[in-house]
Amino acid sequence: MADSEISLLLLLIDQAFDHKSWHGTNLKGSIKSLDVERATWRPAPDRHNIWEIVVHAAYWKYVVRRRLLGEKRGSFPLKGSNWFTRPLDSGPDEKAWKSDVALLVATHKGLRDAVAKLRARDVHYTPPDSKVSNVELLTGIASHDLYHAGQIQLLKRLR
């Protein structure tokens, strides 16, 4: 049963991120072909732009992977947590935008690899310092991707 549960969890996180599914655009699809100008547009001052959402999603994939593997904090490649201001003070930069998209793809791969290596007994395990089981964490990260995919689609329309 656990192998099929792991397969189902992989399916969920993949469909939410970059695999075709019935529900429409996934997270990676929502940023396909976006240039830095569109990625940095804000609907209002002090509101997040698409670029910030992309890095935020990468950060939470990292957090989930880190929790699954029991790793310590501090290994995310960017300084800070949760929300990261983009563009940087140097201004919009196509290369920096593409680098952060690559970070999102890499963190998804790292998360996916960690899920694929889960043992059967780990699927429903809740770590002592957590209120959330691994299965809840993983279904949650898939939902997180879809939530932000919808948000990005809306921001593109508003622009």
Instruction: Name which CATH class applies to 2-158.
Output: mainly alpha
Can you give the pLDDT at residue 76? Answer: 94
Spell out the per-residue pLDDT of the chain, length 159, in tens: 568 999 999 999 999 999 998 989 999 999 999 999 999 999 999 999 999 999 999 999 999 999 999 988 888 999 999 999 998 777 789 999 999 999 999 999 999 999 999 998 999 999 998 999 999 999 999 999 999 999 999 999 998
Of 148, 126, 121, 149, the closest CA to residue 137 belongs to 126
Can you give the pLDDT at residue 99? Answer: 96
Can you give the pLDDT at residue 43? Answer: 94
Can you give the pLDDT at residue 91? Answer: 79
How large is the angle between the packed helices 94-116 and 2-17, nearest 10 degrees? 170
Can you give the pLDDT at residue 85? Answer: 94
AA identity, residue 62: Y
In whole angstroms, what is the distance from residue 137 CA to residue 51 CA? 24
Can you give the pLDDT at residue 50? Answer: 98
Can you give the pLDDT at residue 2? Answer: 62
> What Rg, from alpha-carbon coordinates, does the chain have?
16
